[in-house]
Amino acid sequence: MELVRRLSPTARLKLFLLASAIGVGIALPYLVSPFLVGLATLALIGGLFSMSIDLLGGYGGLITLGQAGVSAAAGYGVGYMANRVGAGHTTQILTGLAVGLLVSAIFGVMAMRSDSVYFIMITLAQGMIVWGLSIRLNRITGAENGLTGISRPAGLTLYWQYYWFALGVVVLCSLLLYVLVRSPFGSATRGIRESESRMRMLGYNTSLQKFYLFMVAGFFATIAGILLVYLNQFISPSSAHLTASAIGVLQAILGGMGTLVGPLIGSFVIVFIRNVVSQYLERWPTLLGLTFIVVILFARRGIVGALSRGWRAWLLRRYGEEMTRADRQAELAADVALGAKTSGPS
Amino acid sequence: MTVALVIAAFLALWWILGQMSLRSFWIQTLNGLSFGAVLFFLASGFTLIFGLMRITNLAHGGFYLVGAYIGIMLMALTGNFFVALVVSALAIMLLGLFTERVLLRPIRGLEKPEVLLTIGLTFVLGDLSLAIWGGDPMPVPVPGFLEGPWRIGDFAYPRYRLFVLICAVVVGVVLFYIERRTRIGAMVRAGVDDRETVAALGINIKAVFTGVFMFGAFLAGFAGVIGGGFLSVLPGQDFEILLFALVVVILGGLGSLPGAVLGAVLVGLIDSFAKALVPELAFFTLFAPMALILVLRPRGLLGRES
Amino acid sequence: MRQRHPTLGSLIVLALVAAACSAPGAEEPTTTAGGVTTTGESEVTTTAGGETTTTAAGEMEPLRIGVLQPLTGAIAASGTDAKDGWDLFWANNPTEIAGRSIEYRVEDTAGDPETALQKVDELVQSYGAEIIVGELLANVTLALADRLKDNPDVIFMSPIGSADDLTQRIRDDYPNFTRAGGWTSSQTSHVLGDWASQQGYGTAGTICTDYAFGHEMCGGFVQVFTESGGTVDPANQLWNPLGAQDFATYVTQLQGMGTDVVFGLQVGGSVGDFLNTWSDFGLKDEIPLLGGEVLMDISTIRNLDPSVVEGLVSSGHWAEGRDAPETQELVEIVDGATGKLPSYYVAATWTAAQYISAALEETGGDSSDKAALLDVMRGLELETPFGPSRLDDHGNPIYDIYIREVQLRDDGRFWNVPVETYEDIDQFWPKTADEYLQQPVYSRDFQGNAGG
């Protein structure tokens, strides 16, 4: 149609990919086994989790190694209400939300004055504190044994029902994030990533801005945590461990930071590696680590970045210099998203 | 700020002495310091690398682990602890060379990819260690003359831990000397302050970088073998010891060698006394001060404002 | 906002309509769960999980078993031992029983409950496992038990994971669970408590890992010791975090307590660290140390210096130095295959395989009725590498428990040799089931201390 033809090739491609993805996503339970649908659910949730990390990292320039602490705290909120108190699902979810947001707030206050490397280390420690708490507070968290007996809300008990629910929630959150990064909030966030001192000179309270960012990212991590605990119907301290946070970051980088869809793709790839490949390959952690190293060295913008580059090369050959402005702008944004160090005082 | 900390330290000391006998106090102090010694070896390399190159080498834990395993292997081959110690450290030094030149060079200057690559490297090192050496926990066998307790009167303390403590003091002194009194140290200090000028002066800054990274790796391998004498080596230890090292440098200040000493002493002592007095909270007594320091002094106690 | 492409729109609508019309469950590929194939005459039923099962007549498909162990991660050594025990049994025994062949697949849980849950779903749904054997850690075992408890077509066996309550107070929630080849955490420490009292020790201190397994094993010792006349001051019970490495502080505290004896329970790398520190401070010659089974398990002490462990006493259902043909056969096989003396992990999965093999023999290869298969297992009395074994009414084995001592062998290695045997010990000894179940499961708060 007229309007679509006037869209740039890139925009048309994105639209097509989005449509197909949603189509396949909805049709998935009819196409593959329940086990794979379960994995897809897990990948979706992991994608949301990594998106929250990307919000902080790709857009805000702040890499966090403690996001699993937030999502696990939310999960424990749900689990505690379900297992220890026996409350109904609404209470469980509200508690989960409250706990997740509270932890985000506390973490945010601690970390908001830091940047870059210190931020990484603080968040690492924060995540591990949640992990330590979950091991120690036996009465609340069940310690190493974790919390079982967490049933899903009515209408979501079957694997495909839950899958569609998770799909819906993740799509909704993605939309929210899409709007968010294009809002003034998103611009201010990107401003901090590019130069915090400049933002401060412009009159922004950058610490407060970082705090808000932490809260927003924490909100999405909280949602992911609640989705996960209902998927597994179980939670244990390993959900809060550094490894969980690190894998979240890995997924975001692998897929491509500073893009929203990248973390989702990265999540699917990692879930695939961990569950399917590990059947045949005993050394999957090595594979995981190598994937990481290779991506950082040769495809720093991740899968999405690599695909974009290939696409643009093809565009160039096909259309010559007629690259759209949007395309070029997107390219620049992706470059800075990885925190290329600018010389001089930061 | 400093005054407040000193007062807090005195109060803590006074309370602690009220809780235990003098003998217990000295033993716990030695426990804490000997553990802190291992952390110092690890943290000093880490902080040097960061101070000069602004690289957060999270693979330092992996270096420690592999160093320890190589040490065990060499002990089995040669039976000589000191040979094992030095050769393992050299081996890790070479690993450091590889890491810096092949893996990190292409992404120099990009702080976040650097950190993340080192995490990926840790995964690989940890899993390959599992594949090569298996998962059985193994201590590094210590030489006969360092086994068992050293007794003076009715006071007994493990010889090996005293040895580790003495090593730390010696290494610390050597490091300080190198940093303050030698030309290399001056180059490093200058490079930390102003990279461009150093390069402009014709000093091969790249070689200095590589050298420092290798030296940091050497220290990590050294830490692995020495620590392995009283901390069994096993899969997963790379992340655990890294965590402690991070707390040390956060407390003491990234990039600062005196900070690494201070941080190591603090962490070792806190860990030791907390286990003795408030075992319930032993975990938090470690992270809580770190969190507090970060909020009040984001650069650590002796860190540089840069 | 860009306009919606009509094709996109119609695609979405189509998908929604399709979704509304039929649930995917009805169209799922069949997963066999009864060990029988379908060739025409079969019934397709849909269970609550949206999966289908095929029942009824046909030829015998192999019996598929899924094994879940931690093959990577901090506990990898023990997990690998467990895998070895299982593999070696089937390598040395017939894999076709009463005309039915055995197939299995081993999956790595990495010691993580979430990974384990994903793998077990895959094993049950895709692979078609009828029996799941695993895991090693109590928390993972509990998570798996929970996941599998509502599935009547699967038997869950845990020859290692020893969370007490699974065969005690919460037994009825897990009808398809059995611990053939396994044990409860406190089963072996009860005996040690009695033995310690018999030796004349009056006071004891404890140093145990601060998690459920540690609580249970320690509680077992403390309860029987104090009920036999010994004293344990609650202040003398030390708890260290899981994964603790630096034991200097704990050891010096124990020294300061001045008790007659110390009971210790550690796992993984902490075992070596603790025992080395115990020796380094000179306490090995000062204070008698009694070990919970895992403290002296050969897999955790084999790399230590003999002087650190020689002569140390512990209790256990496994003793690789036991002079009996079933035990020494296993020792020979394992030593030959791996160059190491077998730990209890190896013996446990071997025994679990032995139970499956024997049970299948009894049913003539039929595994379609899981409840019946479990009943058969409960009726078996086997001579296992542990010793004589049979299951009690609650699904937990009854064994001879040994007081073991670490002794040097001629080849320079050392191993655990029984110096005294307590025969026919079940999970409740010395109490009866009813008495025992009246009290809560052991925890930080409840150590069964008769002194209060």
pLDDT in tens, C346-379: 999 999 999 999 999 888 888 888 888 888 988 8
C164-209 confidence digits (pLDDT tens)? 778 888 888 888 888 888 888 899 999 999 999 999 999 999 999 9
Instruction: Please name the helix (run of DSSP H) or strand (run of DSSP E) that holds residue C419, with its range, or none.
Output: strand C414-425
Q: Do A341 and B109 touch (CB under 8 A)?
A: yes
Kindly determine whether residue C243 and residue B236, on different chains, have CB atoms separated by under 8 Å: yes
Residue C277 contacts B, CB cutoff 8 Å = yes
Q: Across the interface, do C248 and B159 touch by the CB < 8 Å criterion?
A: no
Region of C291 on the Ramachandran plot (φ > 0 left; ψ -120 to 50 alpha; else beta): beta
Cα B28 to Cα B273: distance, rounded to the nearest angstrom: 6
Based on the domain organization, do C155 and C209 belong to the same domain? no
The nearest CA of chain C is from the CA of B209 a distance in Å of: 34
Contact A158 C146 (CB under 8 A): no
Domain check: are C244 and C227 in the same one?
yes
* C451 domain residue, yes or no: no
pLDDT mean over C27-46: 32
Over range B245-262, report the average pLDDT.
87
Q: What is the DSSP letter of C439?
A: S
Interface test with chain A among B102, B110, B119, B198, by most A beta carbons within 10 Å: B119
Same-domain status, C374 and C433:
no
Query: Quick one: pLDDT band at residue A49, thresholds 50, 70, 90?
Result: very high
Output the CA angle B288-A210-B240, nearest 5 degrees: 35
Percent of chain B with pLDDT over 70: 97
| Residues C284, C405 share a domain | yes
The confidence score (pLDDT) of residue C32 equals 31
Is C246 in the same domain as C352? no
Distance from CA of A36 to the nearest CA of C (A): 9
B157 vs B146: CA distance, rounded Å: 11
Q: What is the mean pLDDT of residues C12-23?
A: 47
pTM of the model: 0.82
Assess whether C192 and C273 both reside in one domain. Answer: yes
Q: Do A234 and C125 touch (CB under 8 A)?
A: no
Read off the pLDDT of residues C57-83 as tens digits, 9 standing for 90 and up. Answer: 335 788 999 999 998 777 788 888 999
Amino acid B250: pLDDT: 83
Residues of C in contact with B231 (CB under 8 A): 245-246, 273
Q: Which domain holds residue C375?
A: 63-183+325-395
Chain C 48-77, CB below 8 Å of chain B: which residues?
A: 72-77
Q: What is the mean pLDDT of residues C403-408?
A: 94
Cross-chain residue pair B230–C238, CB shorter than 8 Å: no
- Short-list B175, B258, B256, B255, CA closest to B215: B175
What is the residue-wise DSSP string for C326-385? HHHHHHHHHHHHHSS---HHHHHHHHHHHHHHHHHHHHTT--S-HHHHHHHHHH-EEE-S
Tell me, yes or no, whether C263 and C154 share the same domain.
no
Whether residue C113 and residue A282 make contact (CB cut-off 8 A), yes or no, is: no
Out of B111, B119, B294, name the one closest to residue A114 (CB): B294
Q: Nearest by CB to B275, from C249, C269, C276: name it.
A: C249
Q: What's the pLDDT score for residue A326?
A: 57
Q: What is the pLDDT of residue C266?
A: 93
pLDDT at C378: 87
Q: Return mean pLDDT, chain C.
A: 83
Residues of chain C contacting A165 with CB distance shorter than 8 Å: none
Longest CA–CA span in chain C (Å) reads 88
Of A27-41, A281-295, C264-278, the one with minimum mean pLDDT is: A281-295
Please report the pLDDT score of residue C39 as a whole number: 32
Q: Is the pLDDT of residue C267 over 60?
A: yes
pLDDT exceeds cutoff 60 at C46 = no
Nearest residue of B to residue A63, measured between CA atoms: B112
Q: Tokens for A330? A: 């997107």
Are B136 and C79 a contacting pair at CB < 8 A?
A: no
C-alpha distances out from residue C227 to C198, C202, C395, C447, Å: 12, 12, 26, 12
What value does the mean pLDDT take over residues C320-334? Answer: 93
Q: Is C231 helix (H, G, I), strand (E, B) or coil?
A: strand
Q: What is the pLDDT of residue C452?
A: 58
**pLDDT the model gives residue A305:** 84
Which residues in chain A are closer than 8 Å to C24, comparing Cβ atoms? 29-30, 37, 160
Cβ–Cβ gap C15/A7 under 8 Å:
no
Q: Which residue of B has its CA nearest to A286?
A: B124
Placement of tokens 């084999």 in the chain: C302
Cβ neighbors of C220 (< 8 A, separation 6 or more) are: C185, C186, C187, C188, C189, C190, C192, C193, C442, C448
Predicted pLDDT at C244: 81
Element (H, E) at A5: helix A2-6
Q: pLDDT class for C52, splitting at 50, 70, 90?
A: very low
- Would you state the pLDDT for residue C19? 45
Report if residue C72 sits inside a domain. yes
**Average pLDDT of span B159-178:** 93
Decide if C30 is inside a domain: no
Q: Does A206 touch chain B (CB under 8 A)?
A: no
- The residue-averaged pLDDT of C287-297 equals 93
pLDDT at position A324 is 58
Confidence of residue C44 (pLDDT cuts 50, 70, 90): very low
Task: Give the model confidence (pLDDT) of A185-203 as tens digits.
Answer: 888 888 888 887 788 888 8
Q: Which residue has the higher pLDDT, B87 or A233?
A: B87
pLDDT at residue A328 in the model: 65
pLDDT confidence of residue B122: 92
pLDDT tens digits for range A94-111: 999 999 999 999 988 888
Q: Quickly count: other Cβ atoms within 10 Å of residue C381's Cβ.
A: 10
The reply to whether C295 and C372 lie within a common domain is: no
Whether chain B has a CB inside 8 Å of the CB on C3: the answer is: no
Q: A290–B131: do the CB atoms touch at under 8 Å?
A: no
ipTM field: 0.80
Mutate one of A297, A301, A343, A346 to test the B interface: name it (highest B CB count within 10 A): A297
Residues 92-131 of C with CB under 8 A from A: 105, 107-108, 112-115, 117-119, 121-122, 125-126
Q: Are residues C125 and C212 in the same domain?
A: no
Total domains in chain C come to 2
User: For residue C118, which residues of chain A lie inside 8 Å, CB to CB?
Assistant: 38-39, 42, 275
A–C interface: beta-carbon pairs under 8 A: 118
Residue A345 has pLDDT above 90, yes or no: no
DSSP letter for C2, please: P
Average the pLDDT over A240-247 and give the result.
88
Decide if pLDDT at B285 tops 80.
no
What is the pLDDT confidence band of residue C221, given thresholds at 50, 70 and 90? very high
pLDDT at position C388 is 92
Query: pLDDT band for position C42 (50/70/90)?
Result: very low
Flag whether pLDDT at C37 surpasses 70. no
pLDDT reported for residue A30: 87
Q: CATH number of the domain at C335, please.
A: 3.40.50.2300
List of domains in chain A: 2-337 (1.10.3470)
Which of A304-313, B219-228, C97-106 has the highest mean predicted lDDT (pLDDT)? B219-228
Do the chains contact at A120 and B115, CB–CB below 8 Å?
A: yes
C 36-95 residues inside an 8 A Cβ radius of A: 48-51, 71-72
Question: What residue of A is the nearest CA neighbor of B295?
Answer: A110
Q: What is the mean pLDDT of residues A321-328?
A: 60
Mean pLDDT (whole number) for B207-219: 92
pLDDT value at C35 more than 60: no
Has residue A5 got a pLDDT over 70?
no
Q: B64-113: per-residue pLDDT in tens?
A: 999 999 999 999 999 899 999 999 999 999 999 999 999 998 888 777 78
Res C16 pLDDT > 60: no
Q: Using CB atoms, which residue from A29, A34, A135 is nearest to C125? A: A34
For A254, nearest residue in chain B (alpha carbons): B116
**Residue C48: predicted pLDDT:** 32
Residues B189-222, buried b or exposed e (16+ Cβ, 10 A)?
A: ebbbeebeebeeeeeebeebbbbbbbbbbbbbbb
**CB–CB of C249 and B156 under 8 A?**
no
* Structure token digits, residue C28: 């799922």
**Sorting pLDDT into bands at 50, 70 and 90, what band is C55?**
very low
CA atoms within 13 A on the CB side of C285: 7
Looking at the structure, tell me whether residues C225 and C309 fall in a common domain. Answer: yes
Could you report the per-residue pLDDT of C82-94, keeping only the tens digit for each? 999 999 999 999 9
- Please give, rounded to a whole number of angstroms, the shortest distance from the CA of C164 to a CA of chain A: 12
Across the range A131-145, mean pLDDT stands at 80
Inter-chain touch A138–C139, beta carbons under 8 Å: no
Q: DSSP characters for C246-265?
A: --HHHHHHHHHH--SEEEEE
Sort out which chain C residues have CB atoms less than 8 A from B239's CB and list them: none
Question: Is the Cβ of C352 closer than 8 Å to some Cβ of chain A?
Answer: no
CB interface of A with B, residues 295-334, below 8 Å: 296-297, 300
Mean pLDDT of A300-327: 75
Segment of A40-54, B22-36, C381-395 carrying the highest mean pLDDT: A40-54
Residue A157 has pLDDT above 70, yes or no: yes
Mean pLDDT of chain B: 86
- How far, in Å, are A112, A206, B137, C22 from residue A201 at the CA level? 18, 10, 55, 60
- The reply to whether C149 and C283 lie within a common domain is no
**3-class state of residue C407 by DSSP:** strand
Chain A partners of C72 at a C-beta cutoff of 8 Å? Answer: 282, 284-285
Question: Of A261-275, B107-121, C94-108, C274-288, where does mean pLDDT reach its minimum?
Answer: B107-121
Residue C203 carries which DSSP code? B
For residues C171 and C201, membership in a common domain is answered with no
Q: Which residues of chain C lie closer than 8 angstroms to A4, CB-CB?
A: 3, 5
A293 in B contact zone (CB under 8 Å): yes
